[in-house]
Amino acid sequence: MTDPHATSTAQNDAQATGRIVGVNGNLVVTEFDTPIFQNETALVHCHDLRLPAEIVRIRGNRAEMQIFEDTKDLRVGDTVSFSGELLSVELGPGLLGQVFDGLQNPLYDMAETYGTFLQRGASRPALDRTQHWEFTPEVAEGEEVKAGSWLGSVPEGIFGHKLMVPFHLRGTYTVTRISPAGTYDLNTPLATLTGPKGESIEVGLYQEWPVKIPIRAYADRLRPTKPLSTKIRLIDTFFPIARGGTYCIPGPFGAGKTVIQQLTSRHADVDVVIVAACGERAGEVVETIREFPELEDPRTGRSLMERTIIICNTSSMPVAAREASVYTAVTLAEYYRQMGLNVLLLADSTSRWAQALRELSGRLEEIPGEEAFPAYLESVIAAFYERAGTIRLHSGDAGSVTIGGTVSPAGGNFEEPVTQSTLKVVGAFHGLSRQRSDARRYPAIDPLDSWSTYPGQVDREQVQAMHELLQHSNDIDQMMKVVGEEGTPLEDFVIYLKGEFLDQVYLQQDAFDPVDGATTLKRQSYVFDRLHSFLQTSMTFADKDAARSFFQKLTQATIDWNRLAMDSDDFHHQEKRLEQLVADVTDYA
């Protein structure tokens, strides 16, 4: 792989410059006289402002660049300064708890410096250079290390943030100096490494990495097989997610995509949560920023924000910023994975990102694909989700990045290109239904259309039997809409009521209840086994009214059971009551 830190030959002596010859929305065409390279970043001079940009195509002595800011007042002849570097992020302690934009500018610091309305081109370092960290070395002089090896750690929240050998190095290096335990800032070199050719490398608490190049400083890549508990029963039981796997949540606007993501980020069994608001509406992004610091982390009892990073780009921001936010988020996720942590990346919504790609492709006058999306849309989406995965580090520890993306197809049409391109690469599909959303069924995931390729912890034969019951119940429901309840046999009506019972007491959850809002895998397995036993029982009723009355009682009793703490006396008393209710209508013939 090409060294991501390499610079063009033009940067050896002087900074390369160019001049604008055309402006088309967020796309700027510039002429240059000295060598530049693809995806190099630049600064476009607009009066006294410096607007960040990235080269997306080079033809002859002209380069086309996407601008990450509003291009108002740009003129032909304005100067462009090329950086000789790829679009990169800073990786080091101090990232957790932050809110960044797509270029990793810390928005809270920006607001303090520039006020509520940020000036175009304004920027701030992502990491605080003045903050000091308590460093503890983990290697000794003379030890051999590789890219990604741990040299020491500093405390960051509840984690030990690792000082790592720079990811771009290749081969084996020897530690020739390591600083003793003490307090240091980010600018202080803490270790010196000697390479195979005798070169000397100084290593500090932070490094930079290009966002569009995956971090691959690990020993091995593993197959995702261990279930990731989200504590949402419908997901964990019927359509599980694997730790290090991928999944998508497509659905129409207002169907609950953002709500599911926020609850997943709070209750999922992961160490670090990264939220990439890559083009959602401003109101939803503001709600996320306001609510996360107020949410209590079930693991620590402290603010959930202490182990969360938010990358914030709204649908009203420049299209180039949406693309940058996706890559910035996944790079930060890979970085914490290198520390042996389990990371959950939530991208909301990738449809906005795809629309940004479509707009840029149109300005580049590329041959369009389906619905005017670029022909390479599928490969771009696949490359993003492929950065998820479970890895084994050089130390023997394992880390993972799980990626969950929401898709907002127009009109809830799952046949549109973004949804279809995503379904080809993810391991689980949680399709939201407008009908279930309108019926106030939470979560609004359609249990008949969704699927997962990952193994779960609940007995699969029982899950298959209950899924068939839901399908049979739905078929009977559709039939009753034609022939009416009076034209439906009692046997079929009971099957319909069983399916409705399972939907109401297990597929739906009360997100506001402290117990029912988050169900552990242990409880899911136990409760699902009992419900499977109830629903497999042959029941006898005098008529449909008697059947309806029984299932109403059973439904309410089971909902009450869901709200009782497991292993409590009340829990077991309520379970016995359910068993008695079922025994009263059991056909023992």
257 annotated binding-site participant = yes
Q: What does the block give as tokens for 479? A: 């039939």
d(CA 94, CA 109) in angstroms, rounded, equals 13
Whole-number pLDDT of residue 570: 96
Beta bridge mates, 310: 99, 275
412 annotated binding-site participant = no
Q: Which DSSP string do the residues of 43-103 spell out, in sequence order?
A: EEEETTEEEEEEEEEEETTEEEEEESS--TT--TT-EEEEEEEE-EEEESTT-TT-EE-TT
| pLDDT digit string (tens) for the chain, length 589 residues | 344 444 443 344 457 999 999 999 889 999 998 999 999 999 999 988 999 999 999 999 999 999 998 888 999 999 999 999 999 999 999 999 999 989 999 988 888 888 877 788 888 999 999 999 999 999 999 999 999 999 999 999 999 999 999 999 999 999 999 999 999 999 999 999 999 999 999 999 999 999 999 999 999 999 999 999 999 999 999 999 999 999 999 998 888 888 898 889 889 999 999 999 887 666 677 777 777 777 888 888 888 899 999 998 876 677 778 889 999 999 999 999 999 999 999 998 899 899 989 999 999 999 999 999 999 999 999 999 999 999 999 999 999 999 999 998 887 889 999 999 999 999 999 999 999 998 888 899 999 999 999 999 899 999 999 999 999 999 999 999 999 988 999 999 999 999 999 999 999 999 889 999 999 999 999 999 999 999 999 999 999 999 999 999 999 999 999 999 998 999 999 999 999 999 998 876 5
Element (H, E) at 437: helix 434-438
Pairing of strands 308-314, 220-222: unpaired
258 annotated binding-site participant = yes
d(CA 236, CA 260) in angstroms, rounded, equals 13
Whole-number pLDDT of residue 417: 95
Is domain 9-85 classified as CATH 3.60.60.10?
A: no
CATH superfamily label, 98-116+220-452 = P-loop containing nucleotide triphosphate hydrolases (3.40.50.300)
CA distances (Å), 181 to each of 135, 136, 151, 153, in order? 5, 5, 12, 10
255 annotated binding-site participant = yes
Q: What does the block give as tokens for 558? A: 């089971």
CB 269: neighbour CB atoms within 10 A?
Answer: 16
Q: What are the backbone dihedrals phi and psi of residue 232, each rounded to the nearest 5 degrees, phi first? A: -100, 115
7 annotated binding-site participant = no
Of 56, 29, 60, 23, nearest to 41 (Cα)? 56
Q: What does the block give as tokens for 574? A: 């309520």
Topology annotation, domain 133-205: OB fold (Dihydrolipoamide Acetyltransferase, E2P) (2.40.50)
252 annotated binding-site participant = yes
499 annotated binding-site participant = no
Topology annotation, domain 460-585: 1.10.1140
447 annotated binding-site participant = no
9-85 and 133-205 in the same fold: no
List the domain boundaries for the chain. Answer: 9-85, 98-116+220-452, 133-205, 460-585
Q: What are the backbone dihedrals phi and psi of residue 496, each rounded to the nearest 5 degrees, phi first? A: -60, -45
